[in-house]
Each structure stands twice: as C-alpha cells, then as structure tokens.
Amino acid sequence: MKILLDTNIFLWMYLKHERYESRLDKIFKEADEVYYSVVSIWEIAIKRSGKGFQDLEIPNNWYDSLINQAEVSEIKCLDIKLEPCQRIETLPLHHRDPFDRMIIAQAMENNLAVMTSDKMFSEYDVQVVS
C-alpha cells in the first residue's frame, strides 16, 4: 500500500505526540511507500504565522528538522501538480478545509491511501487509513 500522510499524522510522527499510536506506526512500517504533501508544509507555515495548532507546540526550527526526519524515514515529498487542482473543483464540499481538500485530491490522483484521524476524509472516494 502507498500512503499519503495528512498533516496531523505527519506532525504527530515528527513530534512523537501521544496521539501517534503504535498501530499507526505499524501501518507506516508496512507501507510500500509513504508520502507527505508539500501542502502540509504550506499548512504548517500558515498556521504557525497565525492561529497555530491548538494542541501542538511546534519548535522554531521545525522546517529543517521535519524535512530531515522525513528524508531519514524515507518519506517522499509529493508536489502539487495541475491534475489535483482541477479535481478539487468537482469534489463534493463534505470538507471545507482547503489543505485537506488538496490532500484528498492528491491521494485520488495518485492512487494513494490517506493516513489521517479526520473522519471527514471517509466521505470521499479515497482509501482512508486511521
């Protein structure tokens, strides 16, 4: 299975947060390939400059250390391409968060399962691992 990490899972892994459970770690280790989206980096940067993440303290050096940890863990970066941007226009509005909608569209376009704790993802035609 090929997996795309939602931003929350990506951050929980990076921060070794209590919400990142051993069963998620098992799924992660059994995956054929694991990706994070550049959308997650964008989301983290925007939220750190504004309202932030309610329950997470993200260190000031988050960018370099997160990217380095991803590389060490062999998590690949999924860039934004035109096709997922086009797909967003036809996605039902079950989820209104633009970052999550792009991650859903990327997963659909690239035949990836999404690892997330967000229950709204299951409203879409995408495989969800939670």
End-to-end CA distance of the chain: 14
Counted domains in the chain: 1
Mean pLDDT by 10 residues, the chain (130 residues): 95 85 81 96 87 74 92 94 93 92 97 95 94
- Count of beta carbons in the 10 Å neighbourhood of residue 84: 22
> CA-to-CA distance for 84 and 67, rounded, in angstroms?
23
Q: What is the pTM of this model?
A: 0.91
| Contact residues for 72 (Cβ-Cβ < 8 A; gap 6+) | none
CATH number for the domain including 97? 3.40.50.1010
Residue 54 burial (C-beta neighbours within 10 Å; 0-12, 13-18, 19+) = exposed
| Structural domain boundaries enclosing 64 | 2-129
pLDDT at 54: 62
| Contact residues for 47 (Cβ-Cβ < 8 A; gap 6+) | 53
pLDDT 10s digits, 27-63: 888 999 999 999 999 999 988 887 766 667 888 889 9
